[in-house]
Structure 1
Amino acid sequence: MSEQQSLFGDLAMDNETRAQQAASGAPAATAQQGDRAKAAERAAELRHLLDYHAYRYYALDAPEITDAAFDKLLVELQQIEAAYPDLVTSSSYTQRVGGFVDAEQFTPVTHMARMYSMDDAMNLEELDEWLDRTEAALGAGNVAYTCELKIDGLGVAITYQDGAFVRAATRGDGTTGEDVSLNVRTIKDVPMHLSEAALEHMAADRSTPIEVRGEVYMPKGSFMRLNDEADAEGRDPFANPRNAAAGSLRQKDPKVTAKRDLATFIYAIADTAPLHVDSQHEFLDWLRSAGFSVNPNVARCTTPAAVHQFCADALAHRSDLDYDIDGVVVKVDSFTQQGDLGFTARAPRWAIAFKFPPEEKTTVLREIRIQVGRTGVLTPVAEFDPVTVAGSTIARATLHNIDEIRRKDVRVGDTIIVHKAGDVIPEVVGPVLDKRWPDSVEWDMPTECPACGSPVVHEDGEVAYRCVSLDCPAQLKERLIHWVSRGCMDVDGVGEELVDKLVEAGLVHDVADFYQLDVDTVAALDTGRTYATSNAKKGVAAGDPIPVGPTIAAKVIDQLNQSKQQPLGRVLFALGIRHVGKSVGEVLAQRFLTIDALVQASEEDIAGCEGIGPKIAASVKQFLAVPENLEVLQRLRDAGLSLEEDLGAAAARVAQQTGVDADLAAEHPLEGLTFVLTGTLELRTRDEAGAALKALGAKVTGSVSKKTSYLVAGPKAGSKLTKAESLGVPVLDEAQLEQILTTGKVPQE
């Protein structure tokens, strides 16, 4: 995609599959058939896909497909446009540099000159084709090449004037980047002042601004430390060093960037005119003299054979480096010859990026083990004989789901091919079929959860298999934290840290155990911290563990007791039943009134509730069919939770919360009407206004349609207001809304 930059990192397999399917068209056949209409339709589809995946990569630092999959799409579009030149558009990805600018987070910066992308050679044949074209254009034997390692990092442009650092910007869209000056200043190998020797070597006045280009990267050792810290703190790790570098460079707080141990390699300049240099290798020497970090693995090659040898050596030793590379950049060395060759619409003709194939090894698959995630999803994981790939030893890789296993036809005992997606994430490519044992059998998902023995649930139309037992230890902490959270049982003072301590002490095994705790037990829990100094009056010495203490413990128990008064709808939400949120819980509670009635209800009865379809109904029935879950519900009832819905109390509670008259709410005067809220309301938030309308019996939705009765529009109303006006939906202001909430009557037309 760009000079010294790979295009995409690791990949979720389902996205890879879709990308390969999307790239499976036959442009040559289309051209032969002369079917321009189909070619135009396919080209439009490819441009959309390329723009989408470029946005995922550059703007979000969250690629969904690999560079190989992206390149297939790009090559196909190039072939179509070559066959039908009239289909080429100025916005086509073949005519521009990939990248995006986030103007909301960083100030836009216009580069001194356009930062072009780089054409790719995916194999030696394509590299030789470029070398042949170059030799033919410039004269065989008359060309020297500079070969540089292709760093897998984030492109950056750094401007200097009078030898001093002025600013730094990301590549962005090639013309405009994002100002990341404060963050780049924290990178230790970026000089704030250029050397006097380098300035004296400039052909122009030293006050002439210069803009050098290069790559910001994260060393492998720093990447491993960063992910170790993320793991210890419970945060999601970065997928690969490139993503880590991009995320670190685009931090709002430069102090965060400074801690990430970033580094640079500089290799280009916007305009060579201010310098006394005639070639790339001379320019690299000037960069070194100026104080920039320049990759030492560079060679000037005078023959295509020497270029081949450099590429082979780089591939053989890539795992020895403390930074990621994914290829070799080959440039015509002479700046004069570069000028003779010029540029295409998106890339220089005088350079090409030779992309390395992913390193693959074979090993033996010994076991497919199930890993139960925090939401109950069962994920199959391949366990295989350890093998060294891309510089590290791997012995396991996720197989994602049963569909993926079937697609690859992977079986226990197979000799398998493994590699690292994005050179980071271990991945099983597939089996070596001619080494398969005759008695091998297909692997299937277990029918019981390996963590707790409960039945595994698989919903029609979904890939995932799940354990829905409240007693499953693999899901325990997440379920406990969800139970006490603000939108559920609202137990103030019980957070993730205390839940961890309760679980570690063996005091809580499910949500019902919360109500068996007492003040003394909670007070004695070790917080994991120690006293810094001794205190004779308290009877503690420096280094003694600090307990939770009676004050906090009393508050926790009081909050747990108060939570027993939460209505049935909240309890249903807090149980963590899949697809059951707060509003669904309220609907179920108001329809069935007691947990017993809900348990006895049929799937069809549940699906018949307003806003609840077959998918939610099936999830509820599956949850309530697990004996362990019913046991927890009984223990909750024994602890003092009523598990029944008091409609009178519910109406009074909603009235109190919304400010709606309780007697008026009991009449449901707005029943049958549908409202949509948009814009900014001054007297109450949109959530509060929605709750008040619901208290009066109205339905509140998030989108405008022909079925919408009224749109309530505050200041800064946007597309919903436009759509309502186009459909003829009545529009109300906030004063009219308040009148409705007071009287229960809508305006008369």
Structure 2
Amino acid sequence: MNESIAKRVAELRTEIRRLDHLYYVEAKPAVTDLEYDRLLEELRKLETEHPEFASVDSPTQRVGDAPVPHLVQVPHSVPMLSIDNTYSREELKAYFDRTEKTLGEPIEWVMEFKIDGVAASIRYEQGNMAVALTRGNGQVGDDITHNVRTIRDVPLRLVGDTPPEVLEVRGEVYMTNADLADLNLRQTEAGAEPYKNTRNVTAGTIRLLDPAIAAERKLRFFCHGIGETTGLKAADHIEFLAEVGKLGIPPTPEVQVFKSSADALKAVALFEEEMPDLPFEVDGIVFKVNRFDQRERLGIRSKSPRWVIAYKFERYEAVTVLESISVQVGKTGAITPVAHLKPVDIADTTVSRASLHNADEIERLDVREGDVVVVEKAGKIIPKVVRVEKHERKTEQPPFEFPTHCPVCHTELVRDDGGVYIRCPSPECPAQLRQRLIYFGSRPGMDIDGLGDELVDLLVQRRIVSSYADLYRLSVDEIADVNWLKQRKGKDGKLIDVQVGKKNAENLVAGIEASRNRGLARVLASISIRHVGPRVAQLITRHYPTIEQLQSASIEDLASIHEIGDAIAKSMHEFLHSDYGKKVFAELAEVGVKLSEEVAEPSGGPLEGKTIVVTGTLQQFNRDEIKALIEKLGGRASSSISKKTDYLVAGEKAGSKLTKAESLGVKILTESEFKTLIA
């Protein structure tokens, strides 16, 4: 009898932990709230009736502690240091230059979101949560274990049978904007004041004496740092995040790695222009040296490490009314909802529109027309609706109904497989055509001088242009006489006829002509293939420099290119072989657009023309060194095995790549055999 009860208790704990991870870490709820509650109640009942099976790491114990009389101060085993800040890209570049000069060798940089929460340290011993502390003064922190145990995405016991003997992780306790909106609604219903922002409520909640209150407020946690450890295998930050993730601790999301500081700086510009759709507050970006051995050599100052810096930007908020929601069609068919706001001043500009990103974001925010909303401009760039003030909702407005058909061409919309975006699948959609042509002529595209938004609108509306190739068929006379109604500047604001004119027409035709020979890489980056931008296009055309060679490549061939994954390869291949894609390239070839790239002269190295994959742990090279050597000697360093792979260099603990290479008949080299080959 006891054996069957013990088995059921173990099954319930395993299942509840799995469901907690799916819901709180992966945002993929697998059961209804009612089904979850029934499982938890069954476990609670069994533990009550059979106390011999009680355990401190049981999911029922997350809110099992009584209120503590006061917060106890506990020394950190490893000092919990702060991070230096910078507020300009110039200062950030100076930091990168200074750090690289100090180390005297290339540095791989990691970029993370700077989550606006409260820093905390969580210590596990023999796999069980032992203590959780605030940063405090860096040397001593407050014991907040009773509250951290209520955070559902933090495991009470690490996943796996052989956890590290000691694992101390540092990270950020935070609250999502949606949870703050729900909390403020409960606050006002109880006659209390609503909280101003997520950071303030998190800072107050994590130091409460009663863990039951903390549990109601649904705090979350992301791990982004390391304290004292025994038994951890990671040699760099990326490996560390992957390792703690497998142990059940949620790592900080969407981390990126850059081979150089120049690439990292480019990412900052992109981040500022395209602020991500995040459910939590971010007030900057953190850059870290990836390798732990390089961190040790750089060392620390009195209060902060030399190997990390935070690039912060000011956040500006305002409260206004969301008057209506509309949708617009993008160049890849994505249907983007737009919030039309009662105009409000934020950071010296008047904001009347903000993106709502996608249908899931509308549902997550539970935003409705007529709501009072908090609008934010981070870094004075893109306005974003971050929260609905639900407690200000006087009447129950109906939820926004996302359209089922394209608002322009009326094609039935489809959702991406496993994704959040809903798209119009018709490549003939006029709204998509307009956006694609605008991007095609932009500086990141074919850089056609004179092809602005207004002129694209005119050419599409008059049906003068209905494809990329049509641009190359335009003549000066055809464009010069075209006119359209335009609102005149000034007090009267009357609509007047405006003619393109011969000079503007000549400039446009000259700009189009100049773009004709930009090459295949620019074309691929300009025609709105999903996941294919300038960098990806360059990587692909290095291996397939003509459109004919590219069209003959398989998905596996494309995926074997270093930095090109399965998703990009599939998207590229599908476009190339779709009726629409074939038509695009055939028409561009017909009008004389260059669909090839100059092939670099052979280097004459011993690996000339060879594709080589490296796997396992090497003794005399690190992974970056051997890849650089392969390319220097004329070879191609690939990340995946295919039939076109010439050699696999296999070090210790070679895994699935070795098995696949054997099955495909790829020649396998040891490290010493590789050295003999290049000698």
Larger Rg: 1
TM bin (shorter chain): 0.3 to 0.5
- The alignment's TM-score, normalised by the length of structure 2, stands at 0.38
